[in-house]
Chain A
Amino acid sequence: MPAIAEAGALRRREFLRGMAASAATAALAGCGRSPVGAVPYVERPEEVVPGRPLFYATAIPFAGFAQPVLAETHMGRPTKLEGNPDHPVGGGATDAFTQAAVAALYGPERSRRPLRGGVAAAWADFAALAPELAGPGLRVLTGAVGSPTLVRQLTALVEEAGARWHVHEPGLPPPQAGRPSLHPRLDAAGAVVCLDADPLGPGPAQVAHVRAWSAAPRRPLFVAEPTLSPTGAVARRRLAAPAGRVPVLARALAAELGLGQAPPLADDEAAWVAEAVAALAAQPGESLLLAGPTQPGAIRDLALAVNARLGNLGRTLLATEPVLAMPPGGDEFSLAALVEDMRGGRVRALLVLEANPAYTQPAGLDFAAAARRVPWRIHAGLCRDETAALCHWHLPLHHPLEDWSDARAVDGTAGIIQPVTRPLHESVSAHAVLAALLGEPGADPREVVRDTWRRRWDEDDFEARWRRALHDGFVADTGAAPLTLAPPPLPPPEPDEVGGLEAVFRPDPCVWDGRFAAVPWLQELPKPLTTLTWTNVVALGAGLAGRLGVATGDTVEVSAAGAAVAAPAWIMPGQAEASVTLFLGYGRRNGAGVGRGRGYDAYPLRPGPQGWRVAGVRLRRLDGAAAPLPVIQPHQTLAGLDDIVRTVAPGAAVPPPAAAASLYPEWEYPGPAWGMVIDLDRCTGCNACVVACQMENAVPTVGPSEVAKGRALHWLRVDLYYQERPEGLRTYFQPVPCMHCEKAPCEFGCPVNATVHGPEGLNQMVYNRCIGTRTCSSYCPYKVRRFNFRDYAGAMPAAYAPLRNPDVTVRAQGVMEKCTYCTQRIAAARIEARKDNRPIRDGEVRTACQQACPARAIVFGDLADPGSAVARARDDRRHYGLLAHLGTRPRTTYLARTEAR
């Protein structure tokens, strides 16, 4: 190129000549690609095969409980979590939160380095300061703690340094110190009655409960609850009862079984109680009555007494020593007691360890004002959240995938948490923070954890046992020790609640108490019972809404005891008319990444740290236009769509569809022909499959405005339908991945042959051919195709790039994408089988959704093999194809929901 800098003297003709020459040179140089480096190891780790995933057994703690996982890593980079199939809990399944935990590892909201007064500081400076802080004036506030090492360190801090330990877990009731843990055995119970209890709903025990329930999902299940829950959604008989009315139902139920006096009931209540009692009494010793943790302790005691009367204790309801540790002393160690002490100037130093009281505090506590009276405030957590903003020091903690620790699963089985990647940021282990306070500033967290176990195991075989525990992901035979429960004395009847409107509080099913607000995949996860994303609402019944003239989306003001919040309303099927439901976890102000400022904060109305209900609520409609809500599926009634979700009476068969003729030739399959069967009896709508699919297939999120336009990218969606029946509300979940039709309309519709029928029956996208006409999507009767209207993958924060599965192509803007039956997993199995010269074994290919499903609702395999699990499932009498009359001959098919009418 001539010196264009002297362009002042340059004439146009010379300029053009120069440009032409430059363009030609550039074009020549552009042939061939720029060189790419390859950097081999200097010393190669023995087990690493580049391009092959490596799995490590570890655990993700959630609300104090371990969720056992196998972490898939590619060259030291975690990309996916699977359940640990050998673990006594979960059998290899996971929940949605655990699936998304690997995304939280890479989250751009995580703190990068320690901060002192908001300015970058060094960990060594804190470690030097720490011994000064330890002493009687030190308070440590944690969430629920089950980790044996953390308990050992906290106990040492209390006993040796005179510190005090407080626990605040906003989403779950605290275990009561000294009281046993109760473990419902849903697999052993022939009939279950839930009083405002939601064992199948989100929470640390969801996987265990759903798995146990799925052993025989057609058992009688009776639920009375103020707001629809996943358990209520699969119940045989559900009663919408305000939370304040549930104690009355409990007493009526107990009275029918000969315990106490019967209170007066309304007709529908009496009918429900009669049926529930009949089911319980029909199977003494094999039934189960559960009172929810959101109910008063007296009602939980009453339920225990009923179970004792029925002979269920020790059979369907087990008691063990407490799995979570609590500081001794009960209320003295609550958040309220801490705030009281802070206000009184009795706290010299406060360490907040993985808790966020400044956001999750209940009404009237004013943690922030009290905290300002504490001379030393230290926050240790993953993000600089609302509490960190109040503290002098902020210490970023390792993500569990970067850290050494240990934890106990819901059954008490202990497991070692081992790092599967190097820390991404300048973070520290929680064990190192506590060790520094205990006067061991340089402690290696691995040694701290090993110390705990060294005290439990003989020195002789310590190393062998340690290696075994790391390999297996759990320590065998460490389940909580069983206890024999004495039936509690019958609690005295409490006065009935006065009528009026009540508000009940629930952790959000997707962001929980707010801790997952920064994970875009959880924000965009449709809430199971509304399909709402990215925000929270106030749920109210249709009758109440009608009286107030409120429609879904209208802003309403909920006020109680002097506090008020404004929020969009949602007319919720199955809602008790005297109840409104507020969902916690939104309205985050700090350190919540994409969750910041979304939705409304319900905590200011909450009556106490564990308050689940507030009475005397006033609700009024605020003026203004209805806000558009980012809903995945706006239409949720099944009326007139009976052939979508089929139901059958127990033992009945779905009538086979008329054979649909086709003008097109049959396909031939010399090898396997893949297919999937989804059992609607088992699905509880937990959404684990949806997140598992996104993590496996690198499906990006699109954001609330795109969701509102119907552009969400989920390859697998769980359709939600409601139907009012004479016997009550029915709720149906139907997971819908690509049907991989035998006669696929999309294949005939694509003008550029970008979607083709594969040799193993899969309907396959060829991204490079796709020109984005979206014809396939308009031809698809199931609407499972997803279009990249924008560069969604490129618009994700760059921090998430390492999360992408390297075995999956990243889709560009303007390209159609959809479920591939996890074709990369099929390819891996095919390669292994080909190398061994054998056919692919049944069960060797497991799709991501199938692997995550706690209910075992999804079966995948080779339809050409008559002995395969999927072929056998197709022979079930309940088997049917979605919209089979269209003649598409879907490969993904369903087993109809059984309903006792």
Chain B
Amino acid sequence: MVSFAPGRDHLAPMRAGLVTAAKAVTAALAVVAVALAAAWSAGGIPRPPPVQPVPFSHAHHAGALGLDCRFCHSDAERGPRAGLPATEVCMSCHYPVEVRPEVPALRWVRTARLPDFTYFDHSVHVAAAVDCAACHGAVAEMAQPVPPRPFTMLWCLDCHRQRAVERARLEHCYACHR
């Protein structure tokens, strides 16, 4: 049985709790806002490159050896996706003559990603003489490349708007979305 003594604020503890809760939520939101702002201005939260199944170095293959990007990403001229090389492509250099070992399928971690509602086609960009580095950065200098910037819509549009001839079509939604 609760007794109500006159002059005493029975709700004081609850009120104090609510104030604390409000403060905590505000603090949490502030942290989130700061983090988002930082991510926004920096063009992505710098993250270490993901751990890949094979310690493959782009700097060695594309830089030191001077391999063309399309040697491995051979679909870049043919279709929408540049593609990752089949393991047998690796083996053609690494095991050129010996009996090749049985290799399992490699499960790479993707670093360059577009949203699912964006329909990007590599082949038409290659045909329009857009350099790979324009989007993917100086891959030949990075052991494990990460895109220099996240692939945002504004960034795509920056480039599309420079194409004076096809500008009306290239800056329209349906250039990339369907």
Which residues from chain A sit less than 8 Å from chain B, CB to CB?
12-13, 16-17, 19-21, 23-24, 27-28, 31-33, 35-44, 49-52, 670-671, 756, 758-760, 762, 764, 766-768, 807-809, 820, 823-824, 827, 831, 834-835
Contact = CB atoms under 8 A, between A and B. Distances in A.
Say whether chain A's binding surface is mostly helix, strand, loop, or mixed: loop
B44 A32 contact: yes
Contacts of A824: 119, 178
Nearest to A834: B124
Contact of A42 (B45, B75, B103): B103
A37 B25 contact: no
Nearest to A19: B24
Interface stretch (B2-10, B59-67, B80-88, B131-139): B80-88
Question: On chain B, which size bracket covers the interface?
Answer: 35 or more
Contact of A51 (B81, B89, B173, B174): B81
A40 B105 contact: yes
A20 B23 CA distance: 9
B94 interface: no
A759 B106 CA distance: 43
Given A13-B20, A17-B24, A41-B86, A50 B79 contact: yes
B39 interface: yes
Q: Which 6 A-B pairs have the closest CB atoms?
A: A51-B80, A20-B24, A44-B86, A24-B31, A40-B84, A27-B32
Given A31-B36, A820-B178, A767 B169 contact: no
A40 B109 CA distance: 11
A668 to B, nearest CB: 8
Given A13-B17, A19-B24, A36 B113 contact: yes
Contact of A768 (B21, B31, B44, B177): B177
B142 interface: no
Given A13-B17, A31-B45, A756-B173, A40 B108 contact: yes
Given A43-B86, A758-B173, 20 more contacts: A28-B31, A32-B39, A32-B47, A36-B110, A37-B109, A37-B110, A38-B107, A40-B85, A41-B86, A49-B78, A50-B79, A52-B79, A762-B174, A767-B177, A768-B117, A809-B117, A823-B178, A824-B178, A827-B174, A831-B121
Given A20-B25, A42-B88, A809 B177 contact: yes
A491 B116 CA distance: 68
Contacts of A758: 172-174
23 contacts: A13-B17, A19-B28, A27-B36, A31-B35, A31-B39, A31-B45, A32-B47, A39-B105, A40-B84, A40-B106, A41-B87, A43-B88, A44-B88, A50-B81, A51-B80, A52-B78, A758-B173, A759-B169, A762-B174, A807-B178, A808-B178, A809-B116, A824-B178
Given A31-B35, A759-B169, A37 B174 contact: no
Contacts of B96: none
B110 A38 contact: yes
A759 B173 CA distance: 10
Contacts of A19: 24, 28
B108 A52 contact: no
Given A19-B24, A32-B44, A827-B174, A42 B169 contact: no
A389 to B, nearest CB: 41
Interface in B33-87: 35-36, 39, 44-45, 47, 50, 75, 78-81, 83-87
Contacts of B97: none
Q: Which of B78, B87, B169, B178 is most buried by chain A, counting CB atoms within 10 A of its CB?
A: B178
Interface in B125-145: 127-128
A28 to B, nearest CB: 5
B27 interface: yes
A823 B28 CA distance: 44
A42 B119 contact: no
Given A41-B87, A809-B177, A831-B124, A760 B169 contact: yes
